[in-house]
Structure 1
Amino acid sequence: MRPTLHPHLVNGRFGDPALFVELLHRRDSILFDMGDLSPLSARDLLRVETVCISHMHIDHFIGFDALLRVNVGREKRIRMIGPEGLIEAVGHKLHGYTWDLAHKYAEDLCFDVWETGGAAARFRFKAAFAGEALAEPFAVPGLTLTHAVLEHHGPSIGYAIAEPVHVNVWRNRLAERGLAPGQWLQALKAAVRDGAADDTVVATPGGQAPLGALRDLVSVEPGQKLAYVTDVADTPGNRRAIADLARDADLFFLESRFAADDEALARDRAHLTTRAAGEIGRAAGVRRLEPFHFSPRYEGAEERMLAEVREAFQHLPSMAGHG
């Protein structure tokens, strides 16, 4: 199975938290947190349509301006979700600039912002980003997003995103039928994923065909799941909630801020140690654990940190570098 979710730690394991997730055969991408985004190209930033914020500490939120700057003057909708206070924070960011020239643009950039407690608001460029009511629920097309409200110094939101199912295209069968791969396959996969009837018409490179005649081109498999948690205290409640959120994830990005023997420091700062991260990953039964958000005090000791996580996780065979 070719995975749908392709994550990349923008600043490696030591830098500001920001996880850029590309989606196979889709133009949009997802950001979990937005610390320093300067390593991302303008092309990458223009693909971002979903942003999931854990909390608004500066190292998780400073990249908002970079995302805003590259998208001003474009027809674009960016959905954001995060803890209580996110709507106010986004509003303050946007209102820090003067938008008296917005009427000269035909394009309308829109930030739709949801808080995990249920509040929602829309900020539109053409309205000088004045807050507007937003009634629709948060949703990422083709994917399911779940969250958990966790304890840090205040609330910190953990996330898990998953495909309901994974629809895999058999390229050899396409070739046998003389059908070229392309964007049309997204409509085919969506129809299969959504349980459409066999008589549903699907556009193909040669015209149109009923879904029933195209089903043999694909197979349906369990969907991929990715979880992301950072800046959380090591408490029994957090451990239970994190393990439930990340249960059976294929990839789990979990903060591991302090070394195992700095447990007292981790407790004081409301962060996890490498040992705690490994134990939580094991309890969640995740397939692959990716520790990150290492404290700068351990610069030059990355292998030691990874080894401590690996020892606690036990069955982790290897951890490929991200960043």
Structure 2
Amino acid sequence: MIQAILKSKLKEDVCLQLNIPNHSFTYLCDCGQASDLTISDIKNIQAIFISHTHIDHFCNFDTILRHQLQVNRKVTICGPKGIAKNVQSKLLGYNWDILLSEEQAAEALHYEVREISENQIDVYVLHTPKWELEHKGILQEQYLYENEVFSVEYAILNHRTPCIAYCFTEHSKISIQKDLPFKQGEWIKALKQAFVEQNPEKEILIEGNLHKAQDLFVYLEEKKGSKIAFVMDHLASEENHQKIINLCKQADELYIEAYYLHEELELAEKNHHSTAFLSGQVAKKAHVKKAIPIHFSRRHQTEEAIVKVVEEFEKGFNEKFN
């Protein structure tokens, strides 16, 4: 199960870490100020998902860079159009006069940046020490990001600037029933593969006899993986709301901005933000199991103000719809 942990304190910015039990790496959503993000956390980051590069969502990238320098592997960064230049500008802000051999440079920390626009996802790489931006082409995979544990989908929201919402879906786990008419063996692996590949006609060899995979699927049990969504700054418009609903439908957990109170709706619209009530409503319409309001305006940082924001969010989330 994907475990989401807020690394930013109440009066800090936004930083959500995703952990997977028995998995070597961690994953980060946004790089705002986050005093609970440890050096160990940073060294284990495999990919970073940036909603947009307003300072409260990107200012802590420098700290992350500082503690990743000894990590000799690729780190992937996903974000909106312009993210590749944003990352390069951060890197070029420092003096890199330490000379590396070509072999050392090839093995050192390097970034792959996946830049999301309306029609395509451009892939760039940056290598030390020059950090030149090299365009590698257009991403052809089905998902923005995928590994052996989960896949990532996204939606582009309007926050005056593009703001990327992300949804992380853990792969289903396929297990075999205990009571079988055959002895366990290599055929189980072949059967699971046929199920994942949706290949019911595949022939499976069991104890010297061939069986159609579709006749054996009855012995498999599928457990759906968890689904975590991360939705930051957005205008509370019908278009944005429909995108959020489509992306986050039936998520186990949704972390969503609740920047303003609903009495500040005019200010929210002016600044292309949502209100706590409207964020609660859209979470309800997406039928998420659990909705967590985060990212509050600095005008709502006292304990009393936070209680009011959360109450308003829950009112929206508990509202009944036809």
1:44 & 1:60 partners in 2: Cα distance? 18
1:96 corresponds to which of 79, 88, 93: 93
The code of the aligned residue for 1:120 comes to V
Kindly state the Cα deviation for residue 245 of structure 1 after the two structures are TM-superposed: 1.0
Kindly state the Cα deviation for residue 198 of structure 1 after the two structures are TM-superposed: 10
**Is the 1:166–1:221 Cα contact (8 Å) retained in structure 2?**
yes
- Please identify, of 293-302 and 277-286, the stretch whose mean Cα deviation from structure 2 is larger: 293-302
Q: Which residue of 1 aligns with 2:186?
A: none
The code of the aligned residue for 1:132 comes to E
1:122 corresponds to which of 117, 122, 125: 125
Q: Which has the higher contact order (CA 8 A, sep 6+)?
A: 1
1:162 corresponds to which of 162, 169, 194: 169
* Change over 3 Å in CA distance of 1:98–1:290 after alignment to 2: same
Please give the secondary structure, in 1, of the residue aligned with 2:259.
Answer: coil
The code of the aligned residue for 1:235 comes to S
**Is the 1:13–1:291 Cα contact (8 Å) retained in structure 2?**
no
Alignment length (residue pairs): 283
1:27 & 1:116 partners in 2: Cα distance? 27
Q: Which residue of 2 aligns with 1:310?
A: 314
Q: Which residue of 1 aligns with 2:38?
A: 41
**Is the 1:14–1:295 Cα contact (8 Å) retained in structure 2?**
no
* Change over 3 Å in CA distance of 1:122–1:312 after alignment to 2: same
**Is the 1:227–1:253 Cα contact (8 Å) retained in structure 2?**
yes
Kindly state the Cα deviation for residue 8 of structure 1 after the two structures are TM-superposed: 1.1
Tell me the TM-score normalised to structure 2 length: 0.79
Cα distance per residue 1:188-207 (max 9 Å; x no partner): 9x97995599989xxxxxxx
Q: Which runs of 5+ in 2 are unaligned?
A: 179-188, 206-216
Alignment of 1:1-323 (within 5 A): 4-103=1-100, 106=104, 107-117=107-117, 118-125=121-128, 127-135=129-137, 137=139, 138-142=144-148, 143-166=150-173, 220-298=222-300, 299-301=302-304, 302-314=306-318
* Change over 3 Å in CA distance of 1:198–1:60 after alignment to 2: farther
Higher CA-based Rg: 2
* Change over 3 Å in CA distance of 1:193–1:88 after alignment to 2: farther
**Is the 2:26–2:44 Cα contact (8 Å) retained in structure 1?**
yes
Kindly state the Cα deviation for residue 96 of structure 1 after the two structures are TM-superposed: 1.1
Q: Which runs of 5+ in 1 are unaligned?
A: 173-186, 201-214, 317-323
